[in-house]
Amino acid sequence: MMVAQIANGFPAGIPSGGGQSGDSRLVVLSNRAPVRVIAEDGMQRIEPTVGGVGATFMRLLERRGGLWIAWAGSNKTPAPLMLPADDPRFTMMFPALGEREISNYYYGMCNCGLWPLMHLMTQNCRFRASYWGSYRHVNSLFAQLASTQCRPSDQVWIQDFHLALVPALLRQRRPELPIGLFWHVPFPPETIFRIFPWRRELLEGMLGADLIGFHIDAYADHFLDCCETIAGLEVDRRKREISYQGRRIQVGAFPLGVPADHFATLATSPKVQARAAQIRAGLGTPYIILGVDRLDYTKGLLERMRAFERFLEICPEYRRRVAFVQIAVPSRTRMDEYVELKRQLDEAIGRTLGRFSTEGWVPIRYYYDQFEIEELTAFYSAADIALVTPLRDGMNLVAKEYVATRVAEDGMLVLSEFAGAAQELREALVVNPYDAEAIAAALRQGLGMEPREQRTRMRALRARVSANDLDSWAQGFLKLLAAARPASDRYAAAN
């Protein structure tokens, strides 16, 4: 879609869709925007960059009106946009980040500090004062922009660890606003979180919110532990509430879902079914195992390759009868850790291919690429087993997407016990991702499982994925956030 370039931006508090000024709009803040803006001949061409959660927020904003504040993904700052182009309902605005801020805030503090810390990969953590200084500054830019644009009746929903200081910074400026924060990654135990040099400041930044959501109970409990022992705050474990600066902050578990109906519809489309059949024919084996991940050290890719190699060692009856397809989406390619990970993965795949490949059979097909949703759904539909074995993951939506595509109630999911999704998807074959023998045994069990047991397990998995889909996740969080408004109003009146 095409949108005319807006040269001068918007004045403070501009109504950006959503009806009259008294209506409650949704204001979303996230690190990255769900669109890429490309300037051409004085116009701005918009291309979507994400599906899933980003698409859900787009639908919410189109329905309610409001504002999305996000980094554009580069040091070029586009002018504000009104979306959708044919019937504007909400505004998208972009804080201006320079190259130094991007380097220290995003690649530094977010990717070298907080990301490995949250995933318990402390050996990968690098904490530098320059990183933290840029992180604080960028968070203040987001908070300042939101404070000038929000109406008193708006709901603010801040996304993830990139913007952990924004809730407190925004509350200082706009105490009347109900503010929610959702944490999309794990939250570590208190003993791990303690190593973070700015641990108390991060907690106090998060506590500017009225409602803080995590994927599962364990992450919420870890956060409560940190507030109690590190910040010395009063915590009500039964209600999952924290007393802070005269307010009661509610903490909850909100397992993230996927657009289950959309994946089921795609899976039954003639185009996707034809492509799935083509994939199976091209691989030429009775069985297909599929892995889909960003190329990230938290995803357990090296451990998974060793486990598949072990499977071929102890299950010779499946040689020439199974193909393992690994899709690895390029990620953070300018960071040394990810360059080294790709090298090690290439070597691990090469070793297995060298050991087991025979004429007419290649045991591993490796795609270092990002696929469109239809192509990905075709691979889901073609696979007999989805092998999802991250070393640590906040939720893992690949597991749920695979289940959503299994409209015939066949197939099997092998899932890491350290993915948040394992708390819900109990009928999967749950494994320790560090245990190659256990993964190999689960692959053998899944491939040899009777169709009746497959249907029983998959029917239960699909029912759970459908009941807790992406829309129900969003609505559940926003319903509780709306209930936080009276508490915010009382706080504003008292101050």
Residues 427-484 have pLDDT tens digits of 999 999 999 999 999 999 999 999 999 999 999 999 999 999 999 999 999 999 998 7
Q: Which long-range contacts (CB under 8 A, 24 or more apart) does 224-233 make?
A: 224/251, 225/189, 225/190, 226/187, 226/190, 226/193, 226/199, 227/203, 229/190, 230/190, 230/193, 230/194, 230/199, 230/200, 230/203, 231/200, 231/203, 231/204, 231/207, 233/207
Domain residues for the domain of 318 are 260-467
Specify whether 23 is catalytic: no
188: in domain = yes
Query: CATH number for the domain including 373?
Result: 3.40.50.2000
Do 63 and 123 lie in a common domain?
yes
492: in domain = no
User: What's residue 6's pLDDT?
Assistant: 28
Number of domains in the chain: 2
Choice among 154, 293, 296, 393 that is catalytic: 393
User: What's residue 49's pLDDT?
Assistant: 66
Do 231 and 275 lie in a common domain?
no
Of residues 435 and 18, the one with the higher pLDDT is: 435
Specify whether 217 is catalytic: no
359: in domain = yes
491: in domain = no
Do 214 and 267 lie in a common domain?
no
Choice among 184, 215, 222, 262 that is catalytic: 184
15: in domain = no
Of residues 1 and 213, the one with the higher pLDDT is: 213
Residue 464: closest CA among 263, 213, 262, 260:
260
Of residues 262 and 76, the one with the higher pLDDT is: 262
Q: Where are the alpha helices (DSSP H) in 323-396?
A: 336-356, 373-382
Do 227 and 355 lie in a common domain?
no
Which pTM does this prediction carry? 0.92
377: in domain = yes
Q: Give the pLDDT confidence of 158-215 residue by residue, as tens digits.
A: 999 999 999 999 999 999 999 999 999 999 999 999 999 999 999 999 999 999 999 9
319: in domain = yes
297: in domain = yes
Do 205 and 305 lie in a common domain?
no
> What band does 47 get if pLDDT is binned at 50, 70 and 90?
confident
Do 309 and 193 lie in a common domain?
no
Q: What DSSP letter does each residue of 252-313 carry, written as one string?
A: EE------HHHHHHHHTSHHHHHHHHHHHHHHT-SEEEEEEEES-GGG-HHHHHHHHHHHHH
> What band does 5 get if pLDDT is binned at 50, 70 and 90?
very low
Q: CA-to-CA distance for 177 and 2, rounded, in angstroms?
A: 33
